[in-house]
Amino acid sequence: MSKITLIPCVDPENPVESARQYNHTGADAVAYCEKKASLEKIKEIKEVIDVPLYAGGGIRDLEDVKKVLYAGADKVCLGAAVLEDKDIVKKASDRFGKDQVMVSMNLEELEDPGAFAREMKRLGAGELLLLASNGYDKKMEAVEAVKKQSELPVMISVTSLEDAEREAAAVKADAVAVHDAGAFSVLEWKKDMKKNGLDPYLAESPIPFEEFKLNSDGMLTVVTQDYKTNEVLMVAYMTREAYEQTVETGIMTYYSRSRQELWVKGDTSGHYQYVKSLTIDCDKDTLLAKVRQVGNACHTGHYSCFFTDLVKKEYKEENPMHVFEDVYDVIMDRKVHPKEGSYTNYLFDKGIDKILKKVGEECTEIVIAAKNPDPEEMKYEISDFLYHLMVLMAERGMTWDEITKELMERK
C-alpha cells in the first residue's frame, strides 16, 4: 500500500486559524470548501500555511477555476459542475495541468462509477475524490471499478479520525480528507495510524544523528537560511533530541545553551521557522536549514541576526530580485515624493491610460528587436519594458513579492 496523504478540512467558521493549526501540527495538505469558495479566504489561508491547499465549492466554469487557482489554491475540486458540463474538466486540465484538477464523484448517485472515472481520466482529471455518505464498505465494488478503470489517485472523505483509519484501510486510499473533526494534532493522528498498520507520511532522517560530527559541547552547529532569499537568519545548535524533534514536527527546534533546554523557535514569540529542507555539509559537522520564517528570526526585532556590518566594500548587487525591488522602490518613492523633471512622475501625472500605452509600445519593441539577428537590442527593449511594467505595478499598488509568490505557485 502506498503512503497516505492526510488532509484536514478547515473549520468554515474560522478557516484561517484552523488552517494555521493544521499546518503547524503536520498536515500534508489543507482543504477548504464552502457552497461558494471565497477568494479572500483562499488568499488568507494560503498566507499562513506551507502545505498545498485544495479548494472547492460553487465552481461552475473555467473562469471560476482560474480565480480559485490564482487566489492561491494548489488544486481545485470540481463537483456538480462536472455533471452539467464534463468539458470543464478538459478545459481546466488543458489550461492548468491535470495535477491541479480533482473531480469529486458520489458513489451512491452514479449509475456506473467505473465508466465515469474512466471518462474523467480521459478528460484530464489528475485525482478523484470519492464520496459515500453511508460508508465505503457498502460501495467496495464501485470503489474497485473506479480504481481499476481510471488508475488515478483516489481520495476519500470522512467525518471522524476513527472513520479515517478504518475506511482508508478498506479502500486502500491514496489520501484521506477529514472534516468536522475540530482542532487536533495531525502528527499524533499520523502516529496512531502508523501503529495501526497504515503508512502516513512521517519524515525520517536518512542519516542517524550518531554519524554527525559534533562540537566540543556535543552539539551540531546549525545555519538557518530563508528558503526564498537564502539570507542567513541565525546560527544555533542542536542535540540529538532537538534534531529528531525538528525532523518529526517540521518546526525548527534547537538547544538553548543558556537555559540548558530544548528550544522550539517561536513558542514564545510566535515567530516559528517551518522546515523546507535540511542538508548536512561534506564534513557532516554543520547542518544547513532552509526555512519559512514567520515574523523575525532575531530577538532584537531584526529579520536576521546578521545586521551589524564590520567591514564592507562597495559592490554591485547581482541578485535579480534585489535589483527589481530596488528599482521598484525608487519608482514608489517618486510616486510618494514627486521630483520635478522626473519621467516617472510624468507617467504618473498622465495616468493609467498613458502608462498602459507605454507598456504596449514596449511589448511591440521587444517583438521587433527579437527579429533582429543581433540580440543586444533586445536586452535594452526588455529593460525598458520592465521599467514601464514596474510603473504600472506601482500605479496599481502591486509588488514584486505578490508576483513572485504567484509564479512560485505555478511551479
Digit-coded pLDDT (tens) for 179-191: 988 899 999 999 9
Lowest-pLDDT range of 47-51, 365-369, 376-380: 376-380
Cα–Cα distance measured from residue 367 to residue 388, given in angstroms and rounded to the nearest whole number: 16
Higher pLDDT, 141 or 324: 141
- The percent of residues in the chain predicted with pLDDT above 70, rounded, is 97
Residue 344 pLDDT grade (very low, low, confident, very high; cuts 50, 70, 90): very high
Confidence band, pLDDT 50/70/90 cuts, at residue 317: low
Indicate the range of 139-143, 166-170, 306-310 predicted with least confidence.
166-170
**What average pLDDT does the structure give for the chain?**
92
Mean pLDDT of 311-333: 80
pLDDT at 22: 97
Please give the pLDDT value at position 409. Answer: 63
Predicted confidence at residue 61, as pLDDT, reads 93
Q: Is the pLDDT of residue 385 over 60?
A: yes
| Predicted local distance difference test score (pLDDT) of residue 180 | 86
Average pLDDT over residues 208-234: 94
What is the average per-residue pLDDT within 219-239?
95
pLDDT (0 to 100) of residue 286? 97
Per-residue pLDDT for 411 more than 60? no
pLDDT tens figures, 272-293: 999 999 999 999 999 999 999 9
Task: With a cut of 70, say whether residue 34 has pLDDT above it.
Answer: yes
pLDDT on residue 243: 98
pLDDT of residue 353: 96
> Is the torsion defined by CA of 175, 180, 185, 188 positive or negative?
negative
Q: What is the pLDDT of residue 134?
A: 86
pLDDT for position 160: 86
Q: Mean pLDDT, to the nearest integer, of 136-157? A: 94
- What pLDDT, in 10s, does the model give residues 147-160? 999 999 999 999 88
Q: Mean pLDDT, to the nearest integer, of 125-137?
A: 92
pLDDT of residue 214: 96
Of 173-177, 271-275, 402-406, the poorest mean pLDDT is in 402-406
* Per-residue pLDDT at 20 exceeds 70: yes
63-90 per-position pLDDT tens digit: 999 999 989 999 999 998 888 899 999 9
For residue 240, the model assigns a pLDDT of 97
pLDDT surpasses 80 at 332 = yes
